[in-house]
Homo-oligomer: A and B are copies of this chain.
Amino acid sequence: MKFICEKNILQEAIITAQKAVTGKSTMPVLQGILMSVQNNELTLIGSDIDLSIETKINVEVLEEGKVVLDARLLSEIIRKLPNSKVEIQTIENNCVEITCNKSKLTLVYLNPNDFPSLPEIDENSIFKINQKTLKTMIKGTIFAIAQDETRPILTGVLFEIKDSKLNLVAIDGYRLALRSQYIDNETSINAVIPGKTLNEVIKILEDDGDVNITFTSNHILFNLGNTKIISRLLEGEFIKYNSIIPEEYNLNIVARKEELLDCIERASLMAKDGNNNLIKLDIEDDVMIITSNSQLGNVREEINIILQGQPLKIAFNSKYLIDVLKIMNQEEIVMNFSSSISPCIIKNKENDDSTYLILPVRLATI
């Protein structure tokens, strides 16, 4: 194997493939990146079995071949090289030689035949979505996945395609996040993608261009052109999320999002220590009073709102409200309530692409 490539281009490709190298596998070869040189291309693959990332760049090929190189070390070496052409070739003793200007490094390589092959995926059944849109949808839901493994299926995000609409759903038992987008596709899909995969996907998705997505019974493939991300799906049945979201409410309020977020963040300062982040909302005619208290002191915040319905007192874990308000991107939001023990629904005032549900905290007396 022998090829020549610009340092910056190589570095970027390594960073991409390396995102799938978690170092958690027991197979030593999976701490490496598979580099294959063929035709005019260098293909780099990183994998931890569950998640694999393949990326291709054009290089000047002098001799075809393949090797596996330690991902962390390779990445650090290439990063530290001067901005110039890098030549990589296999030499004796299972080593590659990396040359760049006056720097010469040799690095032991691992056997490329030990590297597991990628799952075969037929890319015929595809739907297409704008990369930025998908990134926003993932960021808008992933924070609500379950952090513990009690119900493994909840550590992922449901990708549902139904009625020409893509829905992403995350539920952790205390809250639900739903983002929706119309897409030009008639198929019906129900697949749960591990949160770990999606955390890497949002780092790779760019702000323009489309991504093609293919589902098989066990895998999802994100094809960005030069880069493919393949992930195992989570097994099991996801919660029927539609039955959780109430369809009717007794009252709704409209509030300015930034102002509400600031108030809740200040109130949460006093709700931290041994207090479950508890804050109380007192919804009155034109104002909402937000209070919290602890041994150290208390906070009272007041915000103007528009109320339809009867006044209500209700309490929440402030963290859940803050997570939602931070990720919403419209100026005004609508909050729907039924009672102090029923879930609260938060949506944008102007559009219907985001639905958040949060369970209140029951208090003996509010």
Contact residues of A with B, CB < 8 Å? 70, 73, 76-77, 80-82, 95, 102-108, 262-263, 265-266, 269-270, 295-303
Contact = CB atoms under 8 A, between A and B. Distances in A.
Contacts of A302: 102-103
Instruction: Identify which of A95, A265, A270 gathers the most chain B CB atoms within 10 Å of its CB.
Output: A270
B266 A77 contact: yes
Q: What is the oligomeric copy number?
A: 2
Instruction: Identify which of A82, A300, A302 gathers the most chain B CB atoms within 10 Å of its CB.
Output: A300
Contact of A103 (B82, B106, B301): B301
Contacts of A77: 266, 269
16 contacts: A77-B266, A77-B269, A80-B262, A81-B266, A95-B297, A103-B263, A103-B299, A103-B301, A103-B302, A104-B299, A104-B300, A105-B270, A105-B297, A105-B299, A105-B300, A107-B296
Contacts of A269: 73, 76-77, 80
B73 A105 contact: no
A77 B19 CA distance: 38
Nearest to A266: B80
Contacts of A82: 262
A303 B102 CA distance: 8
A130 to B, nearest CB: 35
